[in-house]
Amino acid sequence: MTVIHSGLDATDPKMRASDVSVYYGDKKAIDNISIDIPSKYVTAFIGPSGCGKSTFLRALNRMNDTIPSARVEGTIELDNEDIYASGMDVVYLRARVGMVFQKPNPFPKSIYENIAYGPKIHGLADGKEQLDEIVETSLRRAGLWEEVKDRLQDSGTALSGGQQQRLCIARAIAVDPEVILMDEPCSALDPIATAKIEELIDELSGRYAIVIVTHSMQQAARVSQRTAFFHLGKMVEYGKTSDIFTNPIEQRTKDYITGRYG
Amino acid sequence: MTPVTLILIALGLGLAGWLAGRAKAWSFQKDESVKRLTARPNYHGWYVAIWIALPVILFAAFWSIASPQLVNMSVLASSAAEQLPETSFQRDVIMSEASAVASGRATAVFNPDARALIEPFREAMSRYNMIGLVLSLLIAFVGGAWAFLRIKPDFTARTRVERVIMGVLLLASLVAILTTFGIFASLVVEAFRFFTSVSPIDFLFGTFWGPDPMSNAENPDGSRYGAIPLFWGTIFIGAIIAMIVAIPLGLMSAIYLTQYANPRVRAWLKPALEILAGVPTVVYGYFAALTVAPAIRDAAVAVGISNASSESALAAGLVMGVMIIPFVSSMADDSIAAVPSAMRDGSLAMGATTSETIKRVLVPAALPGIVAGVMLAISRAIGETMIVVMAAGAAAKLTANPFEAMTTVTFQIVAMLTGENSADHPATLSAYALGFVLFIVTLGLNFIALRVVKRFREAYE
């Protein structure tokens, strides 16, 4: 099957996946996907549940390594460097490719410590002042600073769901990644918190390459510039978001977008 | 007529009631005018069976206590009992001998006086057996008939049966709790007897332990009952030396098992560790006394510690620590596993290594559970008896030198209760006071630990 890449200028891919298949034991979850992730854009992965979009997302920063039975074939490159090569340092990779999860998962530490966690383990800050600065910048970028600046020592788990998710985004930003992967970041949030996160994604998109997995097609249409449609472990169509939503080439994409299944 | 027979009768009649109740309910179901039974026929059967069997079983329990008294009373009232001696003690001996022969538990009597009583006993027994049987049948019949008559299509037999089941389960769980209360009460009573002769101040704060079982029981020397050396020995061996061994090893093995071990290794390592918890403590005691203690003494002497004893706090504490490892490890394992995997993923996704994740996220998050596990382990260690009896020595010394022999609360309880001492002597009674203190301390530790664990669970659910 040929994947249709409609109207994409192939310049400047941040990440490039070539013929990637992911297996869980003997089961093939991802079948032969090739995709270029552009830098400084938001790329959305859409598709019905179980289509493999989260699995593929987790392959991009090797989070699948934590699942013993998972196995990846093909190559995934970050700035033309194979991330599955034996010389690749997973720690360094994950510092460059950050991740935000479906359910907000702040550490049971203070707000400050949540943000300072990454910079501390990667030794990004020289001394307390610089760390304070990183914490403030990250919280500002995540649009959370005004809400929490007076209670940085409170527990991160005491925040509301939407605030927790923005805290997690701030935590990911704090290590200054190049790519941020978001796995259905709004699925556990109410509409108002969702709107805030979407706004935030929009603001961040000029600075980072963002890949977002979402169940909501409206969300994909609102926040992304590129959209890939996944179905049954395969990537059916990939193109500019405007094209995918107004003028899809594949019948299956059309059916999914118009709500005929999924 | 033994209670067992009565209970068998109850079960047999219950079966009959079950069949009858079920049959009646079935007959409703065949009836066209009845739309639907509120409970399935089986439940109606059970309802009748419970009403037959339960009252009879309760009666059997009551009768097994009451009937011997009634038999005794009727024998005493008979003419054969007139020449019995006045002293109640002698009379009781003769009575019990006669009753043993009459019921077939013995073949002959020592006391000639008892021989005359055998026949009255036999008569009274068979009479009361008959009464018991008739009463049970009567109870079974009344209960069964009442229940049977209540069966109607709209009778809610199921909820009633369920309620009885709940009651039985509740009763079962109460047994353990009531036993605890019973233990506590008996300890309190005996400890109180001790404290009437030795002041609690002397006992709790005195620093010399040397009860003399041969001394005058009426006027004990309170200064010989200072339990501080025992408390110190217990804490030193159980809460300090043992924990220095058990906490790091237990925690590290839990971390290895939850975070590093692949499933195959975990599958045999975890059960193997848990088997360690099932080894009888007396076996650990042998090991401590025969292998560890001499080795420690030799090592200590070799490095120039001349007063090292062949029984030492260190030997007992080390072996006890090894014994406790599975407790710490399994609690820590559970609490680390209870930390949501989202925490771990979140940390790994930040580029943290596995060990950074463990140190900075998992262990802090699991800390309350780990602390609770350690407290349970301490309460287990300070209540441990066999190892200290065999390896720690008997000297009540107030010292921080781990190479010296020491003694613990549990050891002294054993020592005070197993001697030839009079049961009323304060030296013997001191065992109950020691047990009381131990009970309070371990209860307190367990209570706090369970509270901590509860709060910890709530934080993640």
Q: In the predicted model, what is the mean pLDDT of residues B193-210?
A: 88
pLDDT recorded at residue A213: 95
Q: Domain of A41? A: 3-105+174-257
Q: What percent of chain B has pLDDT over 90?
A: 26
> Are B422 and B213 spatial neighbours (Cβ–Cβ below 8 Å)?
yes
Cβ-based neighbours of B326, under 8 Å, separated by 6 or more: B250, B273, B274, B276, B277
**Nearest residue in A to B262, CA atom:** A68
Burial class (CB in 10 A: 0-12, 13-18, 19+), B179: exposed
Residue A130 domain-assigned (yes or no): no
Residue A127 domain-assigned (yes or no): no
List of domains in chain B: 3-155 (no CATH), 222-460 (1.10.3720.10)
**Bridging pattern class, strands A81-82 and A70-78:** antiparallel
Confidence category of residue A1, pLDDT binned at 50, 70, 90: very low
Distance CA B8, CA B257 (A): 51
Q: What is the pLDDT of residues A148-177, one digit of tens each?
A: 999 999 999 889 999 999 999 999 999 999
Residue A230 domain-assigned (yes or no): yes
DSSP string, A104-131: ----SSBHHHHHHHHHHHHT--SHHHHH
Residue A233's nearest CA partner among A4, A13, A16, A20 is: A20
Residue A71's nearest CA partner among A81, A80, A58, A82 is: A58
- Chain B residues touching A93 at Cβ < 8 A: 351
Picking from B347, B350, B358 by the largest number of A CB atoms within 10 A of its own CB, the best residue to mutate is: B350
- Chain A residues touching B353 at Cβ < 8 A: 91, 121
Indicate the range of A40-49, B47-56, B72-81, B292-301 predicted with least confidence.
B72-81
Confidence category of residue A36, pLDDT binned at 50, 70, 90: very high
Residue A44 domain-assigned (yes or no): yes
Residue A139 domain-assigned (yes or no): no
The token duo for B192 is: 């109180």
- Chain A residues touching B366 at Cβ < 8 A: none
Strand order in the sheet with A4-6: A4-6, A234-240, A226-231, A42-46, A209-213, A179-183, A97-100
User: B264 vs chain A: nearest CA distance in angstroms?
Assistant: 12
3-state secondary structure of A97: strand
Quote the number of domains for chain A: 1
Q: What is the pLDDT of residues A5-27, one digit of tens each?
A: 545 555 678 999 999 999 999 99
Picking from A54, A91, A134 by the largest number of B CB atoms within 10 A of its own CB, the best residue to mutate is: A91
Q: What percent of chain B has pLDDT over 70?
A: 98
Burial class (CB in 10 A: 0-12, 13-18, 19+), A124: middle
Kindly determine whether residue B350 and residue A107, on different chains, have CB atoms separated by under 8 Å: no
**Nearest residue in A to B263, CA atom:** A68
Q: In the predicted model, what is the mean pLDDT of residues B325-347?
A: 90
- Chain B residues touching A106 at Cβ < 8 A: 346
Q: What is the pLDDT of residues A82-137, one digit of tens each?
A: 999 988 899 999 999 999 999 999 998 899 999 999 999 998 888 899 999 999 99
- Chain B residues touching A68 at Cβ < 8 A: 262-263
Q: What is the pLDDT of residues A55-91, one digit of tens each?
A: 999 999 999 888 888 999 999 999 999 999 988 899 9
Residue A80 domain-assigned (yes or no): yes
Confidence category of residue B403, pLDDT binned at 50, 70, 90: confident
Determine which helix (DSSP H) or strand (DSSP E) holds B268, and give its type and residue range.
helix B263-278
Q: Is the pLDDT of residue B261 over 60?
A: yes
Indicate the range of B29-33, B56-60, B321-325 predicted with least confidence.
B29-33
Residue A170's nearest CA partner among A205, A118, A221, A209 is: A118
Out of A63, A107, A118, whose CB is closest to B343?
A: A107
Domain of A61: which CATH number?
A: 3.40.50.300
Residue A159 domain-assigned (yes or no): no
Residue A27 domain-assigned (yes or no): yes
User: B239 vs chain A: nearest CA distance in angstroms?
Assistant: 29
- Chain A residues touching B351 at Cβ < 8 A: 90-95, 118, 121-122, 175
